Amino acid sequence: MRNTAKLTTAVLAAGALTFALSACGSDKGSSSASDYSGPLVVAASPTPHAEILDYVKDHLAKKAGLDLDVKEFTDYVTPNTATEDGSVGANYFQNQPYLDDFNKKNGTHIVPVVTVHLEPLGLYSHKVKSADALKSGATIAVPNDSVNEARALKLLAANGLITLKAGVGNEATPADITKNPKNLKFKELEAAQTPRSLDDVDAAVINGNYAISSGLKPAKDAIVLESATKNPYGNFLAVKKGNEKDPRVKKLAKLLTSPEVKKFIEDKYAGSVIPSF
C-alpha cells in the first residue's frame, strides 16, 4: 500500500516564506527565476490522480530523466494554495471551471498545462436503482463548492429531475431551480463527504475521484452518469503561472499524455476514468 504523504504546517510555512522571499522584485502572478533542479513535487488527489502519477513514476519517469515526488491531498483547496506558495511545483486534481472560480476567489495564479482525463460525475444511491424511482421529497446530497454544486445540478437537469433557469452558469445553486416535479431536497456537503452520506440520504451526486476511492465503480454503480461528449470538466496538470516552461513539467506533461498512460487508465478504470487525449 502506498504511504500517503502529508504536508505539515511547518512545511507549508517554510514554503510560504521561501515564496515570499523569492517573490521580491518579481511581477505579480509570475514566478521569479526558479531553480528547476531536484524532484518535481506534484500535489494530487489520491484516486485516480496520484495512482496515475505513481504509474508514471514507477514505469516511465526514470527513462525520461524525471525525478517525480507525489504528494497526496484529500481536499480541493490545499493543492492550489501549495502550488501558489511554492510548497509544491505542480498539481493534478481539477478542471477548468473549478480553477477559474478558485483563482477569482483566492487571488491565485494557477494555470493548466495539459488535460489528461475526465472523471464523469455520477448520481449514486443505496436506496433506489434508478433516478425515476426517487420518491417525492427525496433528499439528494450535492457538493457544496460553487462549481461542483452547479455541475451536480446540471447533471440532474440533463436527466429530467429538475429544470434550471435558462443561461445559468457555473455558480448555479438550488435557488436557480425553476421546476422540481419530485420536490427534491438538497443537502450541501463538502465534496469529500458525499460518499459517506449515502446511508443518510436518498441519493448523492459524487465526484469521480471520491466515488472510486470509496469503492464505487462509476461506469457500473451510478444510476445517472455524466456524458463524456464535449465535457468541459477534464482534469489537468497545473502550475503557478510562469512555471509552464519548467523542463520537469514539460517532461511530465508529455508522459501523462503518452500511449502508455492512456492504456493504463483504460485498463485500470474500465470507463470510470476516461483519457482526454
pLDDT tens for residues 53-94? 999 999 999 999 999 999 999 999 999 999 999 999 999 999
Assign domain 122-225 one CATH number from 2.170.120.40, 3.40.50.970, 3.40.190.10, 3.30.70.360.
3.40.190.10
C-alpha cell at 271: 470507463
The reported pLDDT for the residue numbered 90 is 98
Tell me the C-alpha distance between 90 and 56, whole Å: 15
Q: What are phi and psi of 26, to 5 degrees?
A: -100, 165
Share of the chain above pLDDT 90, in %: 82
Helix ranges restricted to H, the chain: 9-23, 51-59, 61-64, 78-85, 96-106, 146-158, 208-213, 218-221, 247-256, 259-269
- pTM listed for this prediction: 0.77
pLDDT(20) > 90: no
pLDDT for 126-148, tens place per residue? 999 999 999 999 999 999 998 99
Tell me the C-alpha distance between 231 and 22, whole Å: 38
Domain residue ranges of the chain, discontinuous segments joined by +: 9-19+39-120+232-275, 122-225
9-19+39-120+232-275 classified as CATH 3.40.190.10: yes
Tell me the C-alpha distance between 217 and 223, whole Å: 11
pLDDT for 145-198, tens place per residue? 989 999 999 999 999 999 999 999 888 999 999 999 999 999 999 999 999 999
User: Same CATH topology for 9-19+39-120+232-275 and 122-225?
Assistant: yes
Q: Across residues 221-233, what is the average pLDDT?
A: 91
